[in-house]
Amino acid sequence: MLFNSIEFLVFFPIVAGLFFIIPKKFRCLWLLIASYYFYMSWNPKYAVLIAFSTFITYISGILMERANTKHGKQAVVAASFIINLAILGVFKYANFALQTLSDIGAILGLQPIERRLDLLLPVGISFYTFQALSYTIDVYRGTVKAEKNILQYMLFVSFFPQLVAGPIERSGNLLSQIQRVKEINVWEFERVRNGFLLMFWGLFQKLVIADRASVLVNQVYQNYGDYGFLELAIASVLFAFQIYCDFGGYSNIARGAARVMGFSLMQNFRQPYLAVNIKEFWRRWHISLTSWFTDYLYIPLGGSRKGTVRKYLNILIVFMVSGLWHGASWNFVAWGVLHAVYQISGDLAGKWKKRIGVQDSNNGCFSRKLEKGIVTFVLADAAWVFFASDSLHHACDIFRQMVASFQTTSIYEIGLDRGNWFILCFGILLLFVVDVIHEKDVSVFQFVQRQTVLFRWTLYLGLIWSIILFGIYGAGYDSSQFIYFQF
């Protein structure tokens, strides 16, 4: 069940409506039933996997609190990680490992490994596995207490708004809210209104911008041999906005749906394309995953506490793992390694400038920030080519075609006509304006609420109308999948 589907349009109002009218003691159970129904709408069999992962981490939390020694707690944490990562490994990485071994064997003159596992990747498995494991670590560290109520913990792992594509929530935030689910007010107009507005903005990002950009991106990337530098560059730039609006749109719909029901999910994006360096970009992009890797991998590896060489090695490890988390393919590993190279190079450049006494006197001016922002966007966009490609070979071929061919085609002949180009450009411009406003620490919601009733409702209805009229839909208004569902 996709957020941009007719099914969800029926599902969510029923779930939210009943959530507010049923007795408070049944709220947790009702949301749990709704969450499992939501997940099982893709494949009912894989509900067993999320239930098993939930049970293992739930028992691990209780056992750790009962363990009398540090070694006992460490053994429980290790067992929880091994079991959960083994499940993730089988379903997501087994065939990748077999293919890699086969390729290595071919180089050595050995027989290729023909056998592959016929397994469908369970939707959202990377997200809920990391969320459950973060709870295990938090209990081990003593930052949260083990949850004894199995229903509340099951809801924490499976909460439907953020179940399949995040944000990856922490127990200190979401679980603590679930524990207080009976205290949520039946109706707060402002909260509910803002929740729906956030959902509509997310749908605008997805249907009007992301899905429209994907038409051109798919056309050019799938037929890259027919195009030159300009067309491939345009497609690459548009993919940057496609993935931002696709994933950012999902996160906004998830946060909005949760807000309607009285829950607050963490912000997953904070104007990433306004960053002035790659390090800052990762403080703004997929914040829940970045903070997860920082807290549960980078810092335990030693962070920056064990010297420069170890720091850079840790950065490389984290980004390689991040690449593999996104997909079992070498192009994702290359994407992660490239971002590690960006960060390490930026750090070395900063140290070198400091050592020779070079200072940028115009560092705070608008033009200097603009220059840095453009460079950062170009670097991030170059890395997105690996992300958008089907394989490492595909990405390299696209870069090769960019350099080798400078043939040009009319922009109206690469997937979008004049009308769709106008709508796409207007959508991206609106996205930029909203991001700039938020960058100034001004809430668009608060600004709108200070305006007249006529202005507000004109804006609300205009947003809904634009989604209905300008959204990209398939045959029979089929909904398109979100990019991050494959992770």
Opening angle at CA 278, ends 320 and 327, nearest 5: 30
Taking a C-beta distance cutoff of 8 angstroms, is the pair 327, 125 a contact? Answer: no
Three-state DSSP at 264 gives coil
CA–CA separation, 126 and 168 (whole Å): 10
Within 13 A of 6's CA, how many CA atoms are on the CB side? 5
CA separation for the pair 5, 62 (Å, rounded): 39
Tell me the C-alpha to C-alpha distance, in Å, between residue 417 and each of 166, 410, 412, 429, 480.
34, 10, 5, 18, 20
Helix (H, G, I), strand (E, B) or coil at 364: coil
The question of whether 71 is a catalytic residue gets the answer: no
Specify whether the CB–CB gap between 377 and 240 falls below 8 A. Answer: yes
Torsion of CA 13, 16, 20, 26, to 10 degrees: 130
Catalytic entry in 71, 286, 326, 438: 326
3-state secondary structure 38-84: HHHCCCHHHHHHHHHHHHHHHHHHHHHHHCCCHHHHHHHHHHHHHHH
Comparing CA positions, the residue from 71, 66, 53, 76 lying closest to residue 125 is 53
Residue 192 phi, psi dihedral angles, 5° rounding: -65, -45
Provide the 3-class DSSP secondary structure of residue 263.
coil
CB 212 within 8 A of CB 472: yes
- Yes or no: say if 136 and 81 are a contact pair by the CB < 8 Å rule: yes
How far is 175 from 164, CA to CA, in rounded Å?
17
CA distance 347 to 312: 9
What single letter denotes the amino acid at residue 221? Y
Residues involved in catalysis: 326
